[in-house]
Chain A
């Protein structure tokens, strides 16, 4: 993984000192809350329902064992002994004290981490495919480019006060595992006809109140032009993006208002005109950063059958919670944060320490956070899998449900977030309880369930095969269901099936929808494909019908 040089370290140290001074001035009454707010946001600090919330950056989701241990240590000393992994590969602390935050940031800086630009109207953490570097279907590893973008975007003198937040995702694989089409900018690594590496650039995707799918602004951008082109996009956005209405300030609104052709013309003109002043990205610099992401020193191994003669639960775990690796003899292993006893994405300090130790033992000391709120040990020799499973089972991190209904995404919702209209965690619990039978989950097959507690869509409900959106109805929590969304393969936004349902009805409604699927599906047809084939109508008709048991 990338290692800080003197510049990086000097930068984060200066940043910590700056925030220490800003916090001191705020606590001394020299900086009002209104003045302090944009400064603390750019250091990841929100003031939430119960307490401050600190969002720590995990650039493109990659962590070393030492970093994960430090996170565990911080949650113990400054919080309540657990953290929450988010859909943008970050970690949130829900109970830090404001006056402790400078010290937490100083601790993070000792392991080359920070919370810079994890909130506020600026370029946010750059996210990537969680199988980057090991996926069999990859053109090139996206993480070096993520790291380059991270550095370029960090305290950018021109683009730190944008109209609204700005999210970039990079993927190098045929299958989009980074939801790149619903980002402000999505970058797909591709090769042109002559074999040169570059990017297909998408712009204007996003979720929230006005969900939109990104449009291609450039089919092929040479790698060396990456930063110059991003500057052109951001300059057009910074100058012309709306600042009069927070709900219309994302770049997607500007792209829609101008049309992609006009927006492209403006960006191209800006790109041409700023050639002399835009940052260059020489191939040597790309190679310097790429050198940190070379393939691991793998052993020469052959694929082996590790499941023969083993217990069914291990076989199920192998099938659902591990993935193919580019190198024979290895597999990628999910550390499941979706056990039916826990809040999706939550992890205790003890679990973090244990996973850090496990990573050191079997996966080159590296851990990845996924946008689905799980972790991945990417490089596990197949001969270790049984032992890894046993260890994870003891930790409560081996629930064999990855890719199934209960591997759901949920934002923190009304329990923690001051924006939320409705709870998400108790709905998640309700669903975990009702769908607790693994054989039933396996029969339902691959389903992506995504739950958001408000229109801001941090739980990505629009792109869930099944999406659940919490709404406020006269002070009560109700839930609207959408079907047919997807963020991988063909990106699609889900369709609302009808009126929202009260909280206690969510799991039952879900069950009726899934029974329709079981009734009409073709053999081996995924839920999403059935919805695409038959439309939402049959689901709509039965979702609200009285439950057969009650008839």
Chain B
């Protein structure tokens, strides 16, 4: 069973990625391209549904399926590709998505989890080989932040606030 960091706790992951063994009723994460192609099938899926966004996917195109989703996963294929931070913030802030916002991919390393959490990611599926305990500690690395950010990573002091 895969483990993920959810709300800063290490938890068993009950979600399945498309391609893994799936039984009816399972919670499934489907790539956005697949979801668009087989929209009827997935909309009617007998279980919780999540989508996986690639860096090139436009968050705007997600709007009409968002109400059906319990999870949005954003892919970070390598640590240098920062598009997912914008995707995450938009999903959380502008489109007010209240389900699980998950970061995943080879780029999700312990050194980036603080940034991810401040952008609103509440679930971190670490890249293979990353140590979850170190990542957990890294979430609490900074006691302060300059920018507005998700309250899921509490900071003692913050300089700038949103409206």
Contacts and interface: CB of A to CB of B under 8 A. Distances in A.
Interface of A: 6-7, 10-11, 14, 17-18, 22, 35, 38-39, 121, 151-152, 154-163, 227, 235, 238-239, 243, 273-281, 285
B147 A277 contact: no
A152 B162 contact: no
A334 to B, nearest CB: 34
25 contacts: A22-B111, A35-B109, A121-B82, A157-B115, A158-B82, A158-B85, A159-B82, A159-B85, A161-B80, A161-B85, A162-B82, A239-B86, A243-B55, A243-B81, A275-B163, A276-B163, A277-B94, A278-B162, A278-B163, A279-B147, A279-B161, A279-B162, A280-B161, A280-B162, A280-B163
A161 B162 contact: no
B160 A14 contact: no
B143 interface: yes
A36 to B, nearest CB: 9
A38 B112 CA distance: 11
Counting chain B residues whose Cβ lies within 8 A of the other chain, the interface size class is 35 or more
Contacts of B114: 157
Given A157-B118, A157-B149, A279-B161, A239 B144 contact: no
Interface string B53-96: 00100000000000000000000000111110111010001100
B159 interface: yes
Contact of A157 (B55, B85, B163): B85
A154 B146 contact: yes
Contact of A160 (B82, B156, B160): B82
Given A11-B146, A238-B86, A158 B161 contact: no
Nearest to A240: B83
Contacts of A39: 111
A152 B82 contact: no
Given A35-B79, A35-B109, A281 B147 contact: no
Contacts of A35: 79, 109
Contacts of B158: 7
A235 B156 CA distance: 27
Given A11-B144, A22-B111, A157 B160 contact: no
A242 to B, nearest CB: 11
Given A14-B142, A157-B115, 15 more contacts: A11-B145, A35-B79, A156-B146, A157-B147, A158-B85, A158-B115, A159-B85, A161-B80, A161-B81, A243-B55, A277-B89, A278-B162, A279-B147, A279-B161, A279-B162
Most chain-B CB neighbours within 10 Å: which of A14, A227, A239? A239
B134 to A, nearest CB: 9
Contacts of B55: 243
B98 interface: no
Contacts of A160: 82, 85, 115
Contact of A10 (B119, B138, B144, B161): B144
4 nearest A-B residue pairs (beta carbon): A161-B82, A157-B118, A279-B160, A277-B93
B141 interface: yes
